[in-house]
Amino acid sequence: MTSLLDQLKAYTTVVADTGDFRQLAQFTPQDATTNPSLILKAVQKPEYAPLLTDTVAAHAGAALADVVDHVLVQFGLEILKVVPGRVSTEVDARLSFDLPATLARARHLMALYEAAGVKRERVLIKIAATWEGIQAARVLEQEGIHCNLTLLFSFAQAQACGDAGVQLISPFVGRIYDWYKKSSGLQWDEVAQSGLNDPGVKSVARIYAYYKQHGIPTEVMGASFRNIGQILALAGCDLLTISPDLLAQLQSADGTVHPVVRHLTPVTSVLPTPQPLSEAQFRFALNEDAMATDKLAEGIRSFAVDSGKLDALIQAQQ
């Protein structure tokens, strides 16, 4: 049997979206992504308790932020033992509107990886796609520190990331779907809004087409999926980061019955490069997109809460 997962890998680089590195090998992903919520979930599992305890003990007396970064990087180092490609490690979401602090934290994370013998090309620093986060990524990319801009919901965010020369973006599919489903209420038609018509899928497809048409090298990695239908509708996207539960569904599904069809393909013609967005244009365009404004703010708040919980777990062991 050829699984849907195997077929998907023929068109798209599959990335595992988890901090649970013990789950990774069975799906043989190329890369892996983490975020504060995933790391918080992992460190509360008994099998990861020694990693947390040992890392905190090894850096006794250090500032809390420094210890947190060591914990994040330790998970990243374990993940890199399993995946052949890259790991994404996220800057504290509470710094999403602080450009200098984001730069400092990103450089610190990369310095920790390099001190452990990991080359820069194997690490992506995840940063929320606020204006400040995108401008921080612009600087970091020029320093050879590659970035993954996350919590991306709007075309304006994607355009600004392309302008900044960001290595990779993670447009969120499931959270866009969630917003439109909730806002539609009883008018929502699940069948009509599925597959290629899913609002989250359509958002990623538009961004992908824009980058390819304009020769923008930024990689597009669809993220935040609710079902395998959303994943399969984006077959051909540069990368897709998928939770272990959905990876398992794809792996167990027989691809000979309904084979994977490639829906996204790069175009051969290249249009002139558009004018970069100014800060004012970016902020206005984001403000005009109610869904993106709501979900960006909500995502930052959620990650900030989980970062605070991770802080508390580490403080309890100091």
Residues 51, 314 contacting (CB under 8 angstroms)? no
So what's the pLDDT on residue 273?
83
CA pair distance 87, 65, nearest whole angstrom? 20
The β-bridge partners of 126 are: 90, 148
So what's the pLDDT on residue 309?
96
So what's the pLDDT on residue 234?
98
- In the chain, where are the structural domains located? 4-317
282 pLDDT more than 90:
yes
182 part of the active site: no
What is the SS3 assignment for 86-152?
A: CEEEECCHHHCCCHHHHHHHHHHHHHHHHHCCCCHHHEEEEEECCHHHHHHHHHHHHCCCCEEEEEE
Per DSSP, the three-state class of 276 is coil
Percent of residues, the chain, with pLDDT higher than 90: 92
pLDDT tens digits for 36-75? 899 999 999 999 989 999 999 999 999 999 999 999 999 9
pLDDT tens digits for 117-161? 999 999 999 999 999 999 999 999 999 999 999 999 999 999 999
Q: Does domain 4-317 have CATH number 3.30.70.260?
A: no
- Token digits of residue 19: 């901090």
CA distances from 49 to 68, 70, 236 (A): 15, 15, 38
CA pair distance 124, 103, nearest whole angstrom? 14
Annotated catalytic residue within 45, 81, 126, 182: 126
CA pair distance 73, 123, nearest whole angstrom? 10
So what's the pLDDT on residue 283?
98
pLDDT tens digits for 179-235? 999 999 999 999 999 999 999 999 999 999 999 999 999 999 999 999 999 999 999
CA dihedral 77, 82, 87, 89 (to 10 degrees): -40
Q: What is the mean pLDDT of residues 17-40?
A: 92
Q: What is the total residue count of the chain?
A: 318
Top-confidence residue, 203 or 22: 203
269 pLDDT more than 80:
no
So what's the pLDDT on residue 271?
87
